[in-house]
Homo-oligomer: A and B are copies of this chain.
Amino acid sequence: MLYDITKLGIIPNLGRGFMSNYSKQRECIINIIRDLRTHPTAEEIYMKVKQVDEKISRSTVYRNINILVENGDVNKISMPVGPDRYDYNHEMHNHIICEKCGKVYDFYYDIPKSLRKEIENQLLGKISLGESIEIKGICYECKSKKEK
């Protein structure tokens, strides 16, 4: 083992069969996703990884992204348009997504207790609110295009 993957804050889930084996590809993918702050698509991650490991395959990238999402280390953002985007779980933050072009902006806001309570009341025993929220909006670029 060249590097200890746990140093990256990724806890191998040996019991589950996930992340149990080191590979230089896996380490590279994790490093790159962790360092990108651009809400990249799988393709963008793949391209970035390719700059380091010329021979890596798309499916290896997809497979590892899915494992990271499954483990909760990476957040998957479903897009209203185009391919899904991914975001390493650093400090708590929320997203607002343009429903026309899919551009993602971060914002910081503690979900008010009143909202949590309201949702809990309305959806008693059905669903609970996640830690971070994603809201749809429309960016000014798309808005001005629309008004033409």
Contact = CB atoms under 8 A, between A and B. Distances in A.
A143 B117 CA distance: 19
B123 A107 contact: yes
Copies of this protein in the assembly total 2
Contact of A140 (B109, B125, B130, B138): B125
A103 interface: yes
Contacts of A99: 76, 130
Band of interface residues on A = 35 or more
A118 B107 CA distance: 9
Contact of A128 (B114, B133, B137): B137
Contact of A105 (B115, B127, B139): B127
B128 A138 contact: yes
Given A133-B136, A134-B136, 17 more contacts: A78-B78, A96-B123, A103-B127, A105-B126, A107-B123, A108-B122, A109-B118, A109-B119, A112-B112, A112-B115, A119-B135, A119-B137, A125-B140, A126-B139, A128-B138, A130-B135, A130-B137
